[in-house]
Structure 1
Amino acid sequence: MKKLIAGFVFGVGLTAMAHGAGDPEAGKQSAAACQACHGQGGAKPIMGVYPKISGLGERYLYDQLVAIQENSRAIPEMTGQLDGKSEQDLRDLAAYFAQQAMPVSQADPDLVEKGAAVYRGGNMASGVPACAACHSPQGKGNEPAGYPHLGGQNAEYLVKQLKAYRDGSRANNASAAIMVDVSSKLTDAEIEAVASYISGLN
């Protein structure tokens, strides 16, 4: 598993320089529709099950927008939202939202200890690697590798995504394949705890 992660990080690192940059000012002009569900700057979604898209990282956001547009990542609520948008439009949106701050949520105090243990140390007995290995100890992610900033994300959304990885319904690229493997070893209790912990991480 460690070799898989290391190899993938190396590979995306080599291609990161070829990844074109978007124009955040241009993205801001077309972000109004996104903010109807994700809130001002993508930081305050109208429902906990919707993600904060602020500060996730430009590469990650762009990759997800492309996957949603191509329907390789099916999200019913996003149906039609990206129709007609060019590659540059998606890059611009990604650049705009990547520059916005990710506000921190409140972790459940009863779940902090268990969540921290999984996030920082994984679970050696079941083969779960530490989340911090890819997403950083502070949850700030790894922009060149396309790993998202997680700290502050809505716990309800994180639970939904971890379970989607676990059941294979979100498995559209190499990064997702890593998460499918990791999540397959997580229990419901671990998912709830680590999602809560991440929501309060900064």
Structure 2
Amino acid sequence: MNRVFSPFVKSLFVALLAVSSVATAAEEKKAPAADPAKGEALYTSGDASRNIMACVGCHGAAGNSTIAQNPKLSAQHAEYIAKQLHDFKTPQRNNPIMSPIAKAMTDEDIKNVAVYLDRQAAKPGAAKNKDIVELGKKIYRGGIAEKNVPACAACHGASGGGMPAQFARLAGQHQDYTVVQLTSFRAGARKNSAQMTTIAKRMSDEEIQAVADYVAGLK
């Protein structure tokens, strides 16, 4: 019996393999590889025809923002940037400036910009408040046991490098920006991470500021 059906099984396998190959090729055609050159062009100049502002005006050359309220994006994981841009299109992270820009961007635009920024070299930051940086270090590395706050390093890495597709790179980020994001998570204004909302709600203003200062000095 095996001999009788063997040619049929082989033919069926070949047919299925061919269909799979066609489907894979079609998927690749639908989702072209990211183009960092196009990402740089959109980041630097925007696209007036689609009401997409140039990112460089707020986030600085190559993603190295010099404005404390605007995040540094250089060397940030492409997957994380892409997720945030998609989240800006939803109520989870509604922002009067970023939401309209993100909504005007295609999936291809987002991939291109994200990959471009991922490849840029980050400029280091520095702690501002030396009096609380040690508290920030303690929380970042060991958490706050009595409040059930886990160590930030567990997800974002000992040096703030984060994890691609999972957790943001934090090293060198502006203190002011980090403080605003943590307080937004705590207040429920930023809703795109249940994990961060839970953690931030357990932290005081001083603890948030301390962590933000410590993170700014990581390299």
TM range (shorter): 0.7 to 0.9
**Alignment partners' CA distance in 1, 2:205 and 2:189:** 16
Report the equivalent of 2:197. 180
Matched, 1:28 2:54: no
Question: What are the superposed Cα offsets for residues 120-178 of structure 1, whole Å, 9 maximum, x if unpaired?
Answer: 00000110000000000000000042x11001000000000000001111112xxx100
SS in 1 for 2:154: helix
Q: Secondary structure at the match of 1:52?
A: coil
Per-residue CA deviations over 1:31-89 (Å, capped at 9, x if unaligned) read 110001111011124x2111111112111000011111345311112243234321011
Structure 1 distance, partners of 2:126, 2:85, is 28
- Of structures 1 and 2, the one with the larger relative CO (CA 8 A, separation 6+) is 1
Unaligned runs of 5+ in 1: 1-18
SS of the counterpart of 1:80?
A: helix
CA shift in 2, pair 1:159/1:20, >3 Å: farther
Q: Is the 8 A contact 2:88 2:103 kept in 1?
A: no
* Aligned position for 1:195: 212
Change (3 A) 1:98 1:117: same
Query: Structure 1 segments of 4 or more deviating over 4 A?
Result: none
C-alpha separation in 1, matches of 2:165 and 2:85: 17
- RMSD of aligned Cα (Å): 1.6
Please state if 1:101 is matched with 2:121.
yes
User: Contact (CA 8 Å) 2:185, 2:201: kept in 1 or not?
Assistant: yes
Counterparts of 1:35 and 1:113, CA distance in 2: 34
Taking a change above 3 Å as real, the CA distance of residues 97 and 188 of structure 1, as seen in their structure-2 partners, is: same
Q: Deviations over 1:86-144 (max 9, x none)?
A: 10111101111111122221102222210100000000011000000000000000004
TM-score normalized by the length of structure 2: 0.77
Deviation at 1:22, TM superposition (A): 2.4
In the TM superposition, 1:1-202 aligns within 5 A as 22-32=34-44, 33-45=54-66, 47-107=67-127, 108-145=129-166, 147-172=167-192, 176-202=193-219
Alpha-carbon distance in 2 for matches of 1:143, 1:149: 8
Unpaired runs of 5+ residues, structure 2, are 1-30, 45-53
Is the alpha carbon distance of 1:54 and 1:125 closer, same or farther for their aligned partners in structure 2, counting shifts above 3 Å? same
TM-score, normalising length from structure 1?
A: 0.83
